[in-house]
């Protein structure tokens, strides 16, 4: 099963969900706002994808943080604490594909490659 992690009002998440729907791929949606950040998965995401890539420093939530909060996210432990407290600072979407691989962000090409790899398994 594919699991897509994000927030429902994010435009990138909307495009990713639409792509999955158009391809007829079944998936679960994990809403950070309602379900929180899955703390047990966060270390894997940060390890495989890179904590500095999972932490979205380009978004509105990051820009609204005070300097102390930003400074506290200067290493993996601080970034993890911030992501749990402020899920909107996580780059979206994170997808766990049926084959267990992870992806970060959305593009039709990225999703097509992951979907094909998972289907070939």
Q: Would you please indicate which residues are annotated as catalytic (active-site) residues?
A: 10
- Rounded alpha-carbon distances, angstroms, from residue 38 to 35, 42, 89, 107, 111: 8, 6, 14, 24, 22
Asked if residue 45 lies in contact with residue 17, where contact means CB atoms within 8 angstroms, the answer is no
- 119 contacts: CB under 8 Å, gap ≥ 6: 98
* Rounded Cα gap, residues 103 and 117, in angstroms: 12
Which tokens belong to 109? 């090409």
* Rounded Cα gap, residues 114 and 19, in angstroms: 13
């Amino acid at each position: 099963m594919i699991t897509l992690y994000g927030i429902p009002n994010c435009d990138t998440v909307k495009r990713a969900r639409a792509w999955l729907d158009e391809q007829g791929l079944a998936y679960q949606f994990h809403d950070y706002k309602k379900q929180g950040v899955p703390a047990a998965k966060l270390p894997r995401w940060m390890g495989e994808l890179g904590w500095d890539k999972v932490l979205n420093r380009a978004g509105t939530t990051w820009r609204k943080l005070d300097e102390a909060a930003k400074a506290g996210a200067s290493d993996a432990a601080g970034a993890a604490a911030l992501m749990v407290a402020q899920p909107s600072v996580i780059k979206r979407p994170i997808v766990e594909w049926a084959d267990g691989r992870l992806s970060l962000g959305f593009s039709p090409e990225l999703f097509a490659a992951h979907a094909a790899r998972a289907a070939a398994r």
